Amino acid sequence: MRPQYETLLLEEPIRHVTVVTMNRPQARNAMNTQLMTELRDCFASYYVDQGETRCLVLAGAGDKAFCAGADLKERNGMSDEAWRRQHAIIEQAIRAIMDCPIPIIAAVNGAAYAGGCELALACDFIYAVPEARFAQTEVALGIMPGAMGTQNLPRAIGTRRAKEVILTATPFTAKEAFAWGLVNRLVPADKLMTEVLATAERIAANAPVAVRQAKRAMDKSEDLDRANGYSFEIEAYNRAVGTEDRIEGIRAFNEKRKPDFKGR
């Protein structure tokens, strides 16, 4: 049983799929200390125990924003020490999202600015509405991206384009995000969650151990040269060989039926 949160809403609209909704619509889901603490704790809990969840969706409440970035009202007048303490929680939250063994889809329903853009980037891939806008506006506020933005954005859209985005602090459209490879699919607002959940359901229908191992291997592909990456892939592959799901998958194929994966 997952705990109840003040700023997050957890739902399971489809078996094995959990939607985590940032639930501060009155503040455009801005990242205050409470929200980031709960995001950290929520995703860290899936690192410890995946339970029956096989795919996660990160969404924002309301129809205005996925996440508007850090809550600047909370930060107004904050001391350097308090700022660093708060940011340490943000760092932990981003690491918890990126270290989560379960695939995570970001459903971007509106603005994803600064830390909000970084939250979306920390997920495995992004579906967005055509009206969504993205930005890394931190340098216009006297700081810089500090939630993996300088690492994940260049990997998503290329270093030279990421430099332009971050150094000019200029917002860009969902259409541009799609063209640059940041967004996987553009979906009308009234169909966004339907499309996201359909993809999540397809992921959840596959063998959970194999999916988690494949995700780990692909994450490592950007950190390792190809030879060492392949060694990591084979290690991940061999962990799937000894599972009951591997036997079930082959048996189901030969029996011309849908496999019943158990995650073991």
Which domains are seen in the chain, by residue range? 8-204 (3.90.226.10), 208-254 (1.10.12)
Asked about 74 being catalytic, the answer comes back as no
Query: Which strands form 172-173's sheet, in the order they lie side by side?
Result: 65-67, 111-113, 133-135, 172-173
Any bridge partners for residue 9, and if so which? 21
| Residues found in the chain | 264
Q: Which of 38, 118, 164, 233 is catalytic?
A: 118
User: In this predicted model, what pLDDT tens digit does every residue of 15-54 receive, in sequence order?
Assistant: 999 999 999 999 999 999 999 999 999 999 999 999 999 9
Supply the pTM of this predicted model: 0.94
Count of other CB atoms within 10 angstroms of residue 131: 15
- Considering only CA atoms, which of 82, 75, 56, 98 is closest in space to residue 197? 56
Per the model's pLDDT, the better-predicted residue between 246 and 171 turns out to be: 171
Asked about 138 being catalytic, the answer comes back as yes
> What does pLDDT average to over the chain?
95
What is the arithmetic mean of pLDDT over 125-129?
A: 98
User: In this predicted model, what pLDDT tens digit does every residue of 167-225 receive, in sequence order?
Assistant: 999 999 999 999 999 999 999 999 999 999 999 999 999 999 999 999 999 999 988 88
Question: Residues with Cβ < 8 Å from 127, sequence gap 6 or more?
Answer: 105, 106, 107, 108, 183, 184, 185, 186, 187, 192, 195, 196, 199
**pLDDT at 1 exceeding the cut of 80:** no
**pLDDT at 241 exceeding the cut of 90:** no
For residue 214, the surrounding DSSP H or E stretch is: helix 208-220
User: In this predicted model, what pLDDT tens digit does every residue of 139-179 receive, in sequence order?
Assistant: 999 999 999 999 999 999 999 999 999 999 999 999 999 99
Report which residue type is found at 114.
A
Q: Which of 138, 201, 222, 233 is catalytic?
A: 138
- Torsion region of 191: left, alpha or beta (phi above 0 gives left; psi -120 to 50 gives alpha): alpha
> Which residue in the block uniquely carries the two structure tokens 């399971």?
12
What tokens were used for 8? 């997050």
